[in-house]
Amino acid sequence: MLAMATDTDTLTLNILLLGGPQSGKSATGNTLLGSHEFESRPSLGSVTQSCQLLGKTFPRYLRRQGGEAALSVRVLDTPACPHCLLSDGDVQRAVGDAVARRGRVHLVLLVLRADVPLCGVDRHAVWLAQELFGPEWTTHALIVFTHRDTLERAGAEEEEYLRRASGMVRELLDSVRLRHHFVDNSAVWLRTEGKPLLDKLLDLSRQNKYRELPLKDSF
């Protein structure tokens, strides 16, 4: 069951990944875990067909109550929304059921691609978060922009890239108080790439006093 550990030697963070097809959700899950356990590959359609929960414990990751503590990361990967084979309603029910069975989540990662023009934002994943959790989801959310390596090869600066984004993207960033992170999911050393993101998520959860994000009663 997904829940924050009560053992002072271990802190558990439950992370939910949401995003559109080929956005890099599964690759981001691998980056967080420092491994290649989630299936992630180029495809003309959606690779992830069902919810999958994977976890990893990082010993002596942080200090808590005056001593060293481990960080247990549990990542719930989800089908894309929109999905080429499933309706938005099907995806909503699948994700909601998975969260209900396995416990609540602490953090929502909305995954977007940085290697495509940010002329708009796919509203489906935003709609899904809103339907599952209500407006409170934004206080537990961070936007992950994948394919940072493409920007680097093009000589583009991250902040300049965001300044040129559409009004919808800026509106989304404003809704999560500008919390975002760029990742290179192709990096050889995933653990090195994932640690800065984990640190941001740990800080956000700390700001929320490690509260879980409950499902809406109407779900």
Please state the domain extents for the chain: 10-207
Q: Is 22 left (phi over 0), alpha (psi -120 to 50) or beta?
A: left
Structure tokens that stand for 100 in this block: 């209900």
pLDDT range class, residue 168, cuts 50, 70, 90 = confident
CA–CA gap between residue 146 and residue 131 (Å, rounded): 24
Cβ atoms of 170 and 10 closer than 8 Å: no
Is pLDDT above 70 for 122? no
DSSP type of residue 21: T
Per CATH, which fold does 10-207 belong to?
A: Rossmann fold (3.40.50)
Write out pLDDT tens, residues 157-166: 888 888 877 7
Q: What distance in Å separates the CA atoms of residue 56 and residue 62, rounded to the nearest whole number?
A: 15
Q: Is the pLDDT of residue 113 over 70?
A: yes
Q: Are strands 67-77 and 52-64 parallel, antiparallel or unpaired?
A: antiparallel
The pLDDT assigned to 3 comes to 41
Q: Residue 216: pLDDT above 80?
A: yes
In this structure, what DSSP letter does residue 94 have? H
* Bridge partners, residue 55, by sequence: 74
Give the percent of the chain with pLDDT over 70: 87
In this prediction the pTM is 0.89
Looking at every residue in the chain, the average pLDDT score rounds to 85
Residue 144 is predicted with a pLDDT of: 96
Residue 48: the pLDDT is 64
Cβ partners under 8 Å of residue 183, min gap 6: 24, 28, 31, 144, 145, 146, 148, 193, 194, 197
pLDDT at 2 (0 to 100): 40
DSSP for 98-166? HHHHHB-BSEEEEEEESSS--S---HHHHHHHHHHHGGGGGGGEEEEEE-HHHHHHTT--HHHHHHTS-
Pick 177 or 35 by higher pLDDT. 177
**Residue for token digits 């929320």?**
208
C-beta of residue 99 within 8 angstroms of C-beta of residue 76: yes
Omega into 196 within 30° of 0, i.e. cis?
Answer: no
Q: Place 110 in a pLDDT band, splitting at 50, 70 and 90.
A: very high
pLDDT digits (tens, 9 = 90+) for 78-89: 998 878 778 888
**More confident of the two residues 186 and 117:** 186
Distance separating alpha carbons of residues 194 and 217, to the nearest angstrom: 34
pLDDT at 41: 56
